[in-house]
């Protein structure tokens, strides 16, 4: 029992206990509930896999697919949008980078739902955008709200900082002199980008992509507020199961499956890219 007297163990203990009670504990409970009979509120029943069977045979694959599709689409849109901004913030803007950072970070202080309702006002029929178009060009652009594109707009808007800031860090890790060396050896801008910049920024790119992908996968507000009844995302299903349907075991099964899916994606991606090698520690 010598290890317990190590200062590191003692020092880590409060944090470890806190993480266990606050983070691992609830996850374990969710895992436990997923094996309980339908509509029970206790963990004392005999375990069963009936919830898994019913979820798999039910039509939940639709909301799973929407979530994965929208997460992938959001990442694909965010990357080209954020990369130039991140590049500017890391390499070009100089003292103005702080201002840009503030402009992007300050909206995060306002609740996501309130910002999304702001978009509702803009996209609404006879709303800000529609009204402006009507008065200026005499064209009506109603029907923007409660569509999948509106959801995508909301997702891109809300999760932009989560792609942007890791990219800034990734890009600022590239030494300028290495890019100069590539140019000196004959590489044009595109070749410098592909051969040097992109691989060296990869840790930041990976973190940005995974972060925004996972966040969209578990997102709820965008599809509800901007999408109305257009589609149902998996987080929406989980919420309904826990609240409206009062079926904790079903909600737990969906949560476990979503966590498993996220975990699978994250670990596969991280394994494909050797971060140490990318950073140059090897």
Partner 1 sequence: MSEETTPFLELAGVTKKYGDFTAVSDINLSIREGELFTLVGPSGSGKTTMIRMLVGMDQPTSGEMRLKGRVLNKVPANKRPTCMVFQSLALFPHKSVGENVEFAMKIAGVDPARRRQRAEELLAQLRLPLDCYDKGVNQCSGGERQRIALARALAFNPEILFFDEPLSALDFRLRKALEKELKDIHRETGKTFVYITHSLEEAMVMSDRIGIMRDGRIVQVGTPHEIYNKPINEFVAKFMGEVNSLEVEAVGENMVKSKVYGDTYHVGTMPAGFTAGFLIIRPEVVKIGKAAAPMPNRIQGVVFNDYALGSRIQYQVRSATNGDPWLVERLQDEAYEGQLGDTVDIGWRPEDSIVLSE
DSSP H stretches of helix in 7-147: 7-19, 25-33, 50-57, 60-87, 96-105, 112-123, 128-137
Residue nearer to partner 1 on the CB measure, 44 or 272: 272
185 is a site residue for partner 1 (CB under 8 A): yes
Q: With H, G, I as helix, E, B as strand and everything else as coil, classify residue 141.
A: coil
CA distance linking residue 68 with residue 62, whole number of Å: 10
Closest approach, Cβ 42 to partner 1, in A, equals: 54
| Structure token pair of residue 49 | 């896999």
- Which of 199, 215, 245, 261 contacts partner 1 by CB under 8 A? 199
Host H or E run for residue 151: helix 148-172
Give min distance, CB of 163 to partner 1, in A. 22
As measured in angstroms, the least distance from the Cβ of 224 to partner 1 is 42
By CB under 8 A, the count of residues binding partner 1 is 23
Residue 188 found at the interface with partner 1 (CB under 8 A): yes
Cβ proximity to partner 1, 188 vs 268, nearer residue: 188
Q: Minimum Å distance from CB 258 to partner 1? A: 34
Report the alpha-carbon distance of residue 203 to residue 242 in Å, rounded: 37
Long-range contacts of residues 53-59, Cβ cutoff 8 Å, at least 24 apart: 54/250, 55/250, 55/253, 55/254, 55/257
Closest CA relative to residue 35, chosen from 277, 271, 202, 250: 250
By beta-carbon proximity to partner 1, the closer residue of 166 and 227 is: 166
Sketch the per residue contact string, 248 through 277, with partner 1: x for CB under 8 A, - otherwise.
Answer: -----------------------------x
194 lines the binding site for partner 1 (CB under 8 A): no
Closer residue to partner 1 (CB): 138 or 184:
184
Q: Which of 211, 204, 208 is nearest to 171 (CA)?
A: 204
* Interacting residues toward partner 1 by CB under 8 A: 175, 177-178, 180-188, 191, 195-196, 199-200, 277-282
């Amino acid at each position: 029992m010598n290890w317990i007297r190590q200062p590191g163990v003692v020092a880590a203990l409060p944090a470890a206990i806190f993480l266990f009670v606050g983070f691992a504990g609830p996850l374990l409970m969710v895992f436990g509930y997923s094996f309980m009979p339908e509509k029970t509120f206790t963990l004392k029943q005999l375990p069963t896999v009936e919830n898994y069977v019913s979820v798999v045979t039910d039509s939940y694959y639709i909301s799973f697919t929407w979530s994965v599709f929208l997460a992938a689409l959001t990442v694909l849109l965010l990357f080209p949008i954020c990369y130039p901004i991140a590049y500017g913030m890391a390499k070009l803007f100089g003292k103005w980078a702080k201002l840009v950072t503030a402009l992007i970070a300050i909206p995060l202080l306002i609740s996501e739902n309130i910002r999304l309702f702001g978009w509702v006002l803009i996209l609404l029929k006879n709303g800000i955008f529609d009204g402006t178009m009507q008065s200026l060009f005499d064209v009506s652009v109603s029907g923007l709200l409660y569509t999948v594109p509106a959801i995508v707009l909301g997702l891109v808007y809300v999760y932009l900082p989560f792609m942007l800031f890791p990219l800034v860090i990734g890009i600022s890790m590239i030494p300028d002199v290495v890019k100069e060396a590539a140019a000196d050896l004959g590489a044009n801008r595109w070749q410098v980008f592909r051969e040097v910049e992109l691989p060296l920024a990869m840790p930041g790119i990976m973190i940005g992509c995974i972060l925004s992908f996972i966040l969209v996968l578990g997102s709820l507000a965008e599809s509800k507020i901007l999408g109305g009844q257009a589609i149902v995302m998996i987080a929406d299903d989980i919420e309904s199961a826990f609240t409206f349907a009062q079926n904790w075991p079903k909600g737990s099964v969906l949560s476990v499956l979503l966590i498993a899916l996220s975990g699978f994606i994250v670990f596969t991606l991280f394994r494909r890219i050797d971060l140490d090698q990318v950073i140059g520690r090897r």
